[in-house]
Amino acid sequence: MGDHAAKARLFDALSEVAKALANGRRAELIDVLAQGERPVEELAAEIGQTVANTSHHLQRLLRSGLVRTRRSGTHIYYAPASPAVVALWVSLRAAAEEHVAGLDQLTRDYLGDRTALRTMTRDELTTRLRVGDVVVLDVRPAPEFAAGHLPGAVSLPIDQLRERLGEVRAGNDVVAYCRGPYCVYADEAVRMLSTAGRVAYRLEDGFPEWSLAGLPVERRP
C-alpha cells in the first residue's frame, strides 16, 4: 500500500495549479499571455489593473510554474511556461462552459447578442485559405500579431479598423479573429464590416486554439 501522507502531498502539489488559476484576474492574464509574451506594464493595461497588482498576480503564477520570464533591458517579459499551460486554460474554459450555471447569460452581458454574427470554423477557414478567396484580419493589438498570427493575416487592431476600413481588400469575404471565444474585438470588427456592406465572419475561437490545433502559424521576424 502507498504512503497516505505522501499521496496527500502529491495531490496538494498538483492542486497548486488550480489554486493559481482560482482568481479571475490571473485567469485573464493567462488568456492574454496565450497570445504571446508581454511586459507587465502592457499586461496591466490589458486587464485594467495597476502595475503593482498585476505584478502580484504574475508572481503567483510564476511560483506555481505556469509562467516564465525573460529580461530585455529594463523590461521583464512574461509568457506561458509551455503550450500545456495554454491547453489547460482552454480545457478549464470548456469545462466551465459545460457545467457552470449562468455562464451563457454572463457571456451575453459582456459580448452582447451574437446571433446575427456569421461564424466560420477552423476547418472552413483552412479550406478558404487554400482557395485564396478570403481576407483574414487579426484585430488584436499589434504586439500579439507580431508574436504569432494566422497565415496571410493582416494586422488591423480593432481601435484602428474604422479609420482603415478602406485598406481591407474588396471583392472577398472577410474573417476576423482575436484572442478566443470571449474576445470582443472580432465581434466588433464583424459588426463594423457588415455595416460597411462587407460579408464578414468571426472565427469560432481565436489564435491560441488555432495554434494548439497544430495549424500553421506565422511570426513577424
On whether the CB atoms of residues 54 and 43 are closer than 8 A, the answer is: yes
| Beta bridge partners of residue 67, listed in sequence order | 80
What are 56's three cell numbers? 502580484
In angstroms, what is the C-alpha Rg of the chain? 19
> At 152, is the secondary structure helix, strand, or coil?
coil
Spatial separation of the C-alpha atoms in residues 136 and 206, rounded to whole Å: 12
**Per-residue 3-state assignment (H helix, E strand, C coil) for 66-80:** CEEEEEECCEEEEEE
Spatial separation of the C-alpha atoms in residues 132 and 146, rounded to whole Å: 22
Spatial separation of the C-alpha atoms in residues 16 and 134, rounded to whole Å: 44
Q: Judge whether 183 counts as a catalytic residue.
A: no
> At 72, is the secondary structure helix, strand, or coil?
strand
Catalytic residue among 32, 43, 156, 178: 178
In total, the chain counts a number of residues equal to 221
Query: Reduced to 3 DSSP states, what percent helix, strand and coil does the chain have, rounded to the nearest 5?
Result: 50, 15, 30
Residues involved in catalysis:
178
